[in-house]
Amino acid sequence: MKSTSNRRQGQRKNVHVDSKHKQKFQDLLNRLELTFSDDQLLYQAFTHSSYVNEKKIGGDSDNERLEFLGDAVLELCVSQYLYRRFRTMQEGEMTKLRAAVVREPSLAELAREYDFGSLVFLGKGEGMTGGRERSALLADVFEAFVGALYLDQGLEAVDTFLERTVYKKIETGSYTDVMDFKSQLQEFVQRAAAGKVTYEIVAEQGPAHSREFVSRVFIDGDHHGEGSGKTKKSAEQHAAQKALMHFSTENES
C-alpha cells in the first residue's frame, strides 16, 4: 500500500530551484509565519504549465491540480468563517460576500501584496508577455498555494494563513464596495424592533487627495460601531459591518 505522501505526490517531478530562488521562498514563508515540510510541494504551487512545457518536465508538475484543490479549500474556509463571524447575515448575503472574497481580482490583489509573481516559474514566452502581473495567473497561484498548504499542513494551518491575509481584509471593510451592510443592519434592527439607525461622520483624516472618513453608527442614540473609508458612504458601510459583527458576537455568547 502506498503511503499518504506517495499518493499525494502522484507523478510529480521535482522542479530545480537555485539557492537565490529558495531564499525568496523562505523569505515569503517567514513573512507569513509558515513552514513547509515538503518544499517541492511549495515550489509546485508556483509552477506554471508554460514552464513545465518549456522544460519538458512532464508528469503532474505544474500547479493546476493544486489550484483545483485550493479553490475548494478556500471556499470551505471562507464559508466557515462567514458562518461563524456574521451570525445575523442571511444565506444570500453570505454567498455574495464569499463571492467577493474569492473572486479573481481579490485573490490577485493578495498575491501582489505578498509578491507571489516574482516567485512563479514561468516559460520565457509567458514571462515576456507580462504573465507575472496577470490577475488570472496570480489568482490561480494563490489558490494553488492554499492547496499546497492544505496538503502539507492541514486545514488548521490554512485557516491561520487566511486569518492573517483574507479574513483581516473582511474585518477592515475591504469589501464594502460590493456589500450593502447598511441595509442588512437596518433589516436586523427592524426585525429586533431595536430602534432607529443613524450615522455620523466623526473625523476626516489625511490630505485632500487621499482623504479618509471615520463614521459611527448609532441605534436609538447608542454607539454600536465605527468604521473608516475613502468616502463617507464606504465609512458608513464599514461602521454598519462593525455593528453587525458586534451583534453576531452578542448572539454567540
How many degrees, rounded to 5, is the angle at CA 139 between CA 136 and CA 142?
Answer: 150
Q: Is 179 left (phi over 0), alpha (psi -120 to 50) or beta?
A: beta
226 catalytic, yes or no? Answer: no
Does the annotation flag 27 for ligand binding? no
Catalytic entry in 62, 93, 126, 143:
143
Residues 204 and 237: their CA atoms lie apart, in Å, by 16
Does the annotation flag 220 for ligand binding? no
Does the annotation flag 93 for ligand binding? no
| Cα dihedral sign, 131-134-139-145 | positive
Domains and CATH numbers, the chain: 11-171 (1.10.1520.10), 181-252 (3.30.160.20)
**pLDDT 10s per residue in the chain (253 long)?**
333 344 444 556 778 888 999 999 999 999 999 999 999 999 999 999 999 988 877 767 899 999 999 999 999 999 999 999 888 888 988 998 999 999 999 999 999 999 999 999 999 988 888 889 999 999 999 999 999 999 999 999 999 999 999 999 888 888 877 778 888 888 888 887 778 999 999 999 888 888 899 999 999 888 999 999 888 988 998 998 888 888 877 655 5
Say if residues 87 and 251 touch (Cβ distance below 8 Å). Answer: yes
Q: How far is CA 155 from the centre of its chain?
A: 15
pTM of the predicted protein model: 0.75
Catalytic entry in 71, 126, 159, 236:
71
For residue 226, the cross-strand partners are 216
159 catalytic, yes or no? Answer: no
